[in-house]
Structure 1
Amino acid sequence: MYRDRRLNLSIVNLLKAIMIILAIFMLIGFGASQTQVVYAQEDQALPTIYHIYLDDDYVGTIDDQSIVTNYIDERVEQVEQDADDGYTYGLKQELMFIPERVFNNQTNHDQILESLDEVIVIEVKATVLALGDQVVGYFANEDMVEQTLFDYKAKYVDEDILEQLEEQDTDEVELETGETKVLDVSLSEEVSLSGEVVAKDQLLSVEDGVELLEKGTLEELIHEVSEGDTLSSIAAAYDLTTETLLDLNDELDEDSLLQLEQELNVTDYVAFADVIVYEEELVEETISYQTEIEESEELYRGESETKQEGQDGEKEVHYAIERVNGEVSERETINEEIVKEAVDEIIVEGTKVIDSRGTGDFVWPAVGGYISSQYGPRWGSFHSGIDIARPSNRDILATDNGTVEKISYDANGYGHYIVINHNNGYKTLYAHLEQVDVSVGQTVPKGSKIGVMGTTGRSTGVHLHFEVSENGTTINPNHVLN
């Protein structure tokens, strides 16, 4: 039992000790909270200073921001007065103030201003023109940017039209026939303007800006080798030297053999933005007539005649047109109206087959005329045919069905002449022709035109020398002519 009492006393003493320790910790915590309240109250009375940074460079501290900003404003104003060039100036660096509360403020205003004077950079406030994600350049003001873009568009659209587009609404378009109207002019890239302070020599004039927009910017491109390409021809195509092309392609040297479809790195000027012109036009266009063919057994194969003359029609077409840098990139028909219908031409073509075998009945080989010289002895020689002169017209006719066997020229005799084989033992010859209207191998019907009478070869005047041969021997044409 004695041991149990001692154990109970030990437990009680342990609990008392724990209670005492907890009480001490609570007192310490309470004291700390009281101390924090005191510090917070004291902190509210501390002065604030400002750490000055220009971009990422530390300049010093100041207890009044206005001292620095006023000083910079005065310096900017002084630079503008001294320059007297019409530009607006500003601080190039980014000015930042970072506050801090301190126990002891020991800032020196004069020293800070001297430090600022050594490091601040004052240059021209510029308007930055960007097209898409490409910076084009820097201009003195927004008006110059607007004028530059206006003049660039005016390379492809008349200035008067651009000015009208700025002043009037073009939603409703009324066009006369033959009239074209511009509805809108835009750039292929979004225009964005921002501000930046830059050196004066970085500023662009309007003329410089337009020239830069026309020239574009250099970009890397890929050229695929095609048949006939050489290093020098590829370089010239992209306005490069061969040395520059080799520098752009490390795997090449002057002795490299190019392979078809091999890809080479090249550079070329790419426009900052294209000028896109949207317009509509109303034009009158011709509707070409169509030709219809009809067959007829009344005409020989190869012969034809016009049954109905064709006449073109007319239509008015309303187009919507898109031009990129002056070239038509898209043309869409909005509406078309037929003003006059076209009349088809009708041609009748013969299907009758020409019999190449003669009938044996010979027709007169000319249109009218008379025999000026007969068959037989003449001037100490033998005249193997008849001469026909003074025709009503100078057409020469095939005297019977047959096949053109020969077309030739004899300078000392027949001149231009034709021989027709009638495939029945007879052949006929037509000489002194001025014009031949058939070809060798052609089948000709009786009475069809084969040429024009003339005076070629050995001839005393315009006439037709006409011969008939039977089984290879000439005979008197008068015996067979009707």
Structure 2
Amino acid sequence: QTLWDVARSYGVPTDAIVEANELRPRDVRRLSVGRVLKIPGVTERAEVVRAAEPVPVEELPPLEDGAYHVLAAGETLWDVAATYDKSVDELMERNELDDDGVRSLRPGRAIVVPGIRERDVRRAEPVQVESRGIRHTVARGETIWDLARAFGVSVSQLMAANSLSAEDVAGLREGQRLFIPGGGDRSRTARENRLTPRQRRALADARRLGLGTKEVAQQLLRGQVEPRWMRAAGGTRLPGTLRWPVTNGRFVRGYGSGEGSYHLAVDIAGDIGWNVRAAAPGIVAYSGDEVPGYGHMVLVVHPGGWVTMYAHNSINFVVAGERVPRGGVLAELGSTGISRGPHVHFELTFGGENCDPAPLFRPGVRHRSRYARIEQLEWTRPNERPEGLQCDRRRRHPRSRWVVHE
């Protein structure tokens, strides 16, 4: 139930309820079930309950900076972003959504799309959804990540299209029938047709810079960054610090762990559908699944020559050549490749070595309910590595033909 539902029920202006309860704009969009509100002119307090129907667009407050797009069945925030050539970050910020808010979006929810007019809104009728997808029968041992990877859709899209909970995903069974939105054509041409104009321009930049190939990914994993890539990323000064790449993600495995201390990375676990974000500003150098063991992986080159890796994603939302800000959404957390559950495998590479990112993370390394107390470092000059920052040459797993085995 929204504030507009409450206002309509009591015949009271929304502004009056906002003032009476001293609500901020963020509070208005995040009314929780059970929240008690003061209603001016009403003797009893109102309790927020779940609304049976979403608020019709015509009853929502008018907008000066955009228009409303109503989610259709199976449609996600990423679909909306692609439809209007907007970034997911822009839509999340304008609609004040966090990762859990994005995951809980349902058909009928009105999304504010900034910078468009009402006549620009493209209506997506639920009855048309079936024609834009296929029905798939789950095979023995098949997981939702297998389906997301095979059909080029996100786990969130599959969950929304089939009304699946996290428990349903974990209990996916052989013979179960699932609807795959937009899954009728797995070809490269079909995937490219789903790109936004912004992403097509980025791919053109990637081709010009020589980015985006499996060979580039392997070169970057060896820590070899070409000067032109560094310039495209923003210059020669290092970002200094790193953002924790999964907002509510929790540390599960650290740098130097494993047999022979081969694991020169940090593993961050989280829930299905959470966003994986750029730890620092830069340019996407690779987005794909061609490197064995890593599943869907994104590599970002940062100013000064840092390279960060985000592996085992459910699906990547960015393409090579895209410029990303610190905190920009890159992918959806997943369990593709050699993985034991939903997590992101995060690596920091510089000058041919892997470095422990833990002291550079801000606000820190997040455990289940707190941030670990470790000495924090800052690294801005490429030739002045902070004392105490551990860096090592890349190692192979003692019993694997791949560089990293999880």
Q: Would you tell me which structure has more strand in proportion to its own residues?
A: 1
* TM-score normalised by length of structure 2: 0.32
Q: TM-score, normalised by structure 1?
A: 0.28
